Structure 1
Amino acid sequence: MAAPDSRPIAVIQTQRMGDLILTYPLLLWLARCQPGRPVTVVADAGFAGPLSAISPRADYVPLERARECLGSREHSLVVNLGIRPEAARLAGEIPAETRLGPVADAAGVIRVRGDWQLYRASVVHLNRHSRYHWAELNALDIVPPALLAQTAWPPPRRGGPGRRKVGLFVGASQPDKRPGAAFTAGLARELVRRGLVPVLLGGPGEVALGAEAARLAGIPVSNLCGRLGLKELALLGQELDLLVCPDTGPMHLAAWTGWRVLNLSTGPVSAYETGPYQPGHYVLRPRLSCRGCWECLRPSVFCRDRLDPARVAYVAARLARGEDERLAGAHIPGFELLRTAVDGFGLRRLEPLAAPGCPAAGLDARELVGEFWRAAFGHFFGLWPPTVPRSAAAALAGGLPALHAALSRKLVAFGGVIGRDLRRGRVPDASFAASFAPGLRPLAGYLERLLQNTDGDRASRLACLSLLERTVGLLRG
């Protein structure tokens, strides 16, 4: 009888704090599907150290010491979840049977390995219809679908009638995500008016922002900006009933530790990809056609500037008091309220809570198209049978038949363009997918990256033709 394979696994995640926390589900799944294998995570020590108390079991090393620690031992698997060139070089240097994510070869050429890792790369700047969360994309090339379906996440702690404290996180890694001092001050006043106690939270970089919000509030307000480390923030969250925050690392810290989140999803961010992951959290965002962008192209950040303190406070107060049921069917003018959930395949979903009959509850072309592409790629990469994307195509055809017909026509025309380029051996440049209609860009973007990733070899050209043919068949039912 052969001895069990105990070769280690290396996971490289050199991005920000939120990205590291979104790696934690993968670490749990690895412990279940590959038990006994030691796991080392290459990460920023400034995040890994303070978060060690809540991290799944793993050894952590900084990127600067990774070659010294990992470069001499054969690994069964190396997963690079980072985008830095140094991370790709490290992924290519660690001896391993299997490598996933961006990997640099001996000549320094970086190629992405793994269907789902390539899908993630393909939605950069083309994520309008992307519906997969990054915590899932970290894992889908490795973790069996059955394990995802069996995973049960504990619900976040609910508030109650006697609970009153609400955390307001004032900062974010990108300025366009930050609600601003005037909004935070107005929200604090609205919460106090509803009998709640707001607590301003932020890191060392938000000290000035917190002080300005406290000054503008014009009322006594607790301001802890810059006074808590990550460990202390997680401990404080056990005493607070809700965290109201933009898409930021502390949002993921809160969700992971069971502190309920109301995510104000504004700026260049998609709640489908990087909002709170576990079920039972809430997302509030302005109802704009440009929502969920990769990069804001407007002269001002319209979605952020439309945040209304009174409407946000209404939702926050319901959640802080445990009155979730009263939000079902709520109509919040100019906004859409969504709740995180899990589908029958164990994948994360966003459930809209709009009231039937209100304008926000109508058929949404963008969401119907997004659901089709989610279902199509899930079928292409083995998550579910063809009945799932065919059902999504039928929903699109039944709800918006003109859009379904237009998408079908444009798909045929796209087939002519990509077919001609494939016959001529052309490898598309970075502008290829963006030249097509938004409804076609999920497929166009993936084929663009697939051909670039392989220098347009014969196998990838045949794969492109196969995916195109399968998509046409799914869309037509």
Structure 2
Amino acid sequence: MAAFLVLQAARFGDLVQSKRLIRTLQERGRVCLGVDAGLAALARLLYPGAEVFGLRLHGQPGAAALAENRAVFRQWREAGFQAVYNCNFSPVTAAICRLFEPETVMGYRPARAPQSAVTRSPWARLAFRLSERRVVSSLNLVDFWGHFAPSPLAADQINPLARPGGQGLGVVLAGRESRRSLPLPVLASILQTLFGLLDGPGVRLLGSAAERPVARKLQRLLPAKVQEKVEDLSGKTDWPGLIHAVEGLDALLTPDTGIMHLAAHLGVPVLAFFLSSAWCHETGPYGRGHAIWQASRFCAPCLESAPCPHAVACLDALQGRELLRSLAAAVRADARIRVDLPDNLQFWRSDLDALGGVLRLVGGQDVHAPQRAFTRALLAEFLHLPESGGAESPEPTHPTEPAERDALRDWLCHDADWMLPPGRYC
């Protein structure tokens, strides 16, 4: 039986978004999965059948932790992996990959010199170029990693169609970056509106122990009829408990978070709000049946590590009555409710095509639709796939000016990246 190793040493959400790659490899043989030790228990729940190894890679591991790592590395060296998939642009995981023959390593590879350098495969180089012009990118991270493997599982085999499960409304209190989260008054207003639209369901507040003060402040902003239906689970769930709390919800209200990706994994409808550096075309909920609101100012998406020079003005579009009215269209999809949104706000529904996850515009304006569709077609061409459709729009699906098409192609498609035969681009 073929054996594969996947290294995913990043965060909670990244582990969930590795699903297409891992599920593909599980169809083809034995899969070993190397993750941060704190996520090993979750990885075993997400990927039954995979052999999960918890690695102590961050901070300054002590002698005992390093001994544990070395024991794992000895097992891996003897495993005879057919391929090793390194998902992280990291000197640490690249160093681990020196255990294996260079031609077996896919994704991010150790350079010959200097020892700490990391090189990218042609597919990774191509996708990374999109980070230079994120506004024209529509490559979901699930598909970026999924296409590390040639001919991955079809996108519709990854996450189930999202459907209400009868267990109420989940609310993720905050994301890892405060600038990407909704302020409490805005979150309270949206929650109260959804409470009415869903006929007064139970509400589960989700987050870490650090969000307990946020949970208390949020509840004080809610009317009594909502407060009495609230169950505060912040800081009270281990990994099995979190899955139990999310599974079967009617909807999950969230910024871009790991819990959002867990909900999509479980088939729970996601109502996601993206702003600041969060870009829904890259890390939106994967699969069909999710609704996403994207703040779309001229400066979006911004750089997470840089201070905002506009006082987070992208929040303005998320505070109007138009957004609250659009919530009805999200939770009552069969009612064909018209969605009128202010400038700088878009409403999307998640869908799938030959390349993978794609978003369809429901409300608002998307001036970059032609460029994004053309860029997506170039990615499909690189992967030898049928041309993938972009966002549904009355506008042309490709830039109308040949010069603009040529400029996009020259920027994205460097000749050296297109010279490998199918199956050797990962």
TM over 0.5: yes
- Structure 1 residues 388, 112: CA separation in 2 closer, same or farther (over 3 Å shift)? farther
Shift in Å at residue 247 of structure 1? 0.6
Q: Which residue of 1 aligns with 2:40?
A: 48
In structure 2, list runs of 5 or more residues that go unmatched: 57-68, 421-426
- Structure 1 residues 43, 407: CA separation in 2 closer, same or farther (over 3 Å shift)? same
Give the partner amino acid of 2:129: S
Give the partner amino acid of 2:299: C
- Structure 1 residues 182, 388: CA separation in 2 closer, same or farther (over 3 Å shift)? closer
Shift in Å at residue 384 of structure 1? 3.4
Give, in whole Å, the separation in 2 of the partners of 1:56 and 1:314: 41
**Larger of the two Rg values belongs to structure:** 1
Q: Which residue of 2 aligns with 1:431?
A: none
Aligned: 1:230 with 2:233: no
Give the partner amino acid of 1:196: G
- Stretches of 4+ aligned residues off by more than 6 angstroms: 464-467
The within-5 A match list for 1:29-428 is 29-32=24-27, 34=28, 37-64=29-56, 65=69, 66-95=72-101, 97-105=103-111, 107=113, 108=115, 110-144=117-151, 147-148=153-154, 151=157, 153-158=159-164, 165-194=168-197, 195-197=199-201, 198-217=203-222, 219=224, 220=227, 221-295=230-304, 297-308=308-319, 311-316=322-327, 319-320=330-331, 323-327=332-336, 329-334=338-343, 335-343=345-353, 345=354, 347-354=356-363, 360=364, 364-384=366-386, 395=396, 401=400, 404=401, 407=404, 411=407
SS at match of 2:371: helix
Match of 1:463 among 416, 419, 426: 416
Aligned: 1:12 with 2:7: yes
Paired residue total: 393
Most deviating of 198-207 and 103-112 = 103-112
Give, in whole Å, the separation in 2 of the partners of 1:166 and 1:293: 30
Shift in Å at residue 277 of structure 1? 0.8
Q: Which residue of 2 aligns with 1:25?
A: 20
Q: Answer whether contact 1:67 1:94 (CA < 8 A) is retained.
A: no
Shift in Å at residue 128 of structure 1? 2.0
Give, in whole Å, the separation in 2 of the partners of 1:22 and 1:140: 12
Shift in Å at residue 157 of structure 1? 1.8
- TM-score, normalisation: structure 2: 0.81
SS at match of 1:283: strand
In structure 1, list runs of 5 or more residues that go unmatched: 1-5, 355-359, 412-439, 448-461, 468-477
Give, in whole Å, the separation in 2 of the partners of 1:373 and 1:58: 34
Shift in Å at residue 190 of structure 1? 3.2
SS at match of 2:104: strand
Give, in whole Å, the separation in 2 of the partners of 1:326 and 1:268: 32
- Structure 1 residues 303, 380: CA separation in 2 closer, same or farther (over 3 Å shift)? same
Shift in Å at residue 109 of structure 1? 5.1
Q: Percent identity?
A: 23
Give, in whole Å, the separation in 1 of the partners of 2:163 and 2:375: 34
SS at match of 2:134: coil
Shift in Å at residue 206 of structure 1? 1.4
Give, in whole Å, the separation in 2 of the partners of 1:299 and 1:288: 11
Render the CA deviation track for 1:19-38: whole Å, top value 9, x for unaligned: 00011221111122x2xx32
- TM-score, normalisation: structure 1: 0.73
Give, in whole Å, the separation in 1 of the partners of 2:240 and 2:321: 31
Give, in whole Å, the separation in 2 of the partners of 1:120 and 1:287: 22
Give, in whole Å, the separation in 1 of the partners of 2:294 and 2:418: 38
- Structure 1 residues 75, 289: CA separation in 2 closer, same or farther (over 3 Å shift)? same
- Structure 1 residues 81, 190: CA separation in 2 closer, same or farther (over 3 Å shift)? same
Give, in whole Å, the separation in 2 of the partners of 1:149 and 1:233: 25
